[in-house]
Amino acid sequence: MKMIIRPAGVDDVTGIEFAEPGVVEDLLQRPEAQCVVAELGEHIIGYACAWTAVVHPARRWLEVAVQPHHRNQGIGRALVSQLDRDTRWFAARMIAGASAEGFVLALGGSPYQSSPPLLLQGRKLRSSAKVLSHQHHHDVRPGSDFEDDELARLWLQQYLWVHRDWSPVGESEEVQQLLRAEAQELDRELTSVALVDGEPVAVCFGFADPVVPTLVAETVERDTPDGIEAVRAAVGRSLAVAVERDLDRVEFDGHESDPHFAVVANTLPLTGDQIVLYEIPAHQR
């Protein structure tokens, strides 16, 4: 029986039982996504999809999965070879040490960014809030002290410089609107702004979630004097708010390359998985 690789269609979704629910269906609804499936007889035994994120268009994200008892037979590589490639490299996100790392490395992949464990919970959350709240001398205000437009401006400014060197943000008006829309999801009381001479220098943005709120902290500009302490001050207040709300856990969103947040994160008792971003070079077809 010969395996064939063909473009994926909506009717294939129910036949891909080994995928996480909703993943392939969501990808097929993206107009910029390309998906192919490997078919053996009447059964789909693998799929690969590539798509471009609007905010970060420099690479195309790659999703590949093969039915467990058909793995290690070159099917994943064959699927990837049928995806169109332009000058943009593929990108893949995974947990450090996962079996999929070997597959990505075999495709020529290499890491370009990583995130350390970023979960803070239980007693460690409470003790960290107590320690950080006594370690700074900055003026720190809640996000509710600022107008929505000002918080959106700070979010956009921080986001742009944090990603500039390794995953630059697109310049379209659509991108600007998407980032500003993210700022509308802020929990303004959980958000903390550190000031120097009345001007914001660092922000710990708090995003509400019924289970695990997310905190994103960095300076407003890359080169900020005393930036580490400013970030520490903002994080300390946000953690104190979390404790006051009797939250059991918060999760940060940050990167090893963040010059100020990464230093603060290394002082916190964070747990969880390390996440690694890989890039896979384009090849000549």
Tens digit of pLDDT for each residue in 253-285? 999 999 999 999 999 999 999 999 999 987 643
Of 113, 118, 77, 75, residue with least CA distance to 94: 113
Of 280, 256, 257, 273, residue with least CA distance to 95: 273
16-74 per-position pLDDT tens digit: 888 887 888 898 888 889 999 999 998 999 999 999 999 999 999 999 999 999 999 99
Which percentage of the chain shows pLDDT scores above 70? 98
Of 67, 38, 56, residue with least CA distance to 93: 56
Can you tell me the distance from the alpha carbon of 63 to that of 23, in angstroms, rounded to the nearest whole number? 9
CATH of 3-115+276-280, one of 2.60.120.1140, 3.40.50.150, 3.40.630.30, 3.20.20.70: 3.40.630.30
Of 117, 133, 104, residue with least CA distance to 244: 133
Written as six digits, the tokens of 205 are: 């943005």
Average pLDDT over residues 133-150: 88
Cβ distance 218 to 162 under 8 Å?
yes
Q: Is the pTM of this model over 0.85?
A: yes
Same fold, 3-115+276-280 and 119-269: yes
Give the count of beta carbons closer than 10 Å to the beta carbon of residue 48.
26
Say what angle helices 227-244 and 122-132 make with each other, to 10 degrees.
130
93-110 per-position pLDDT tens digit: 999 999 899 999 999 999
Domain boundaries, the chain: 3-115+276-280, 119-269
Average pLDDT over residues 226-245: 96
Average pLDDT over residues 185-196: 97
Average pLDDT over residues 155-165: 97
Can you tell me the distance from the alpha carbon of 117 to that of 252, in angstroms, rounded to the nearest whole number? 9
119-269 homologous superfamily: Gcn5-related N-acetyltransferase (GNAT) (3.40.630.30)
Cβ distance 143 to 189 under 8 Å?
yes
SS3 57: coil
- pLDDT of 164 > 50? The answer is yes
Say what angle helices 148-163 and 173-183 make with each other, to 10 degrees.
120
Half-sphere exposure of residue 208, counting CA atoms within 13 Å on the CB side?
Answer: 9
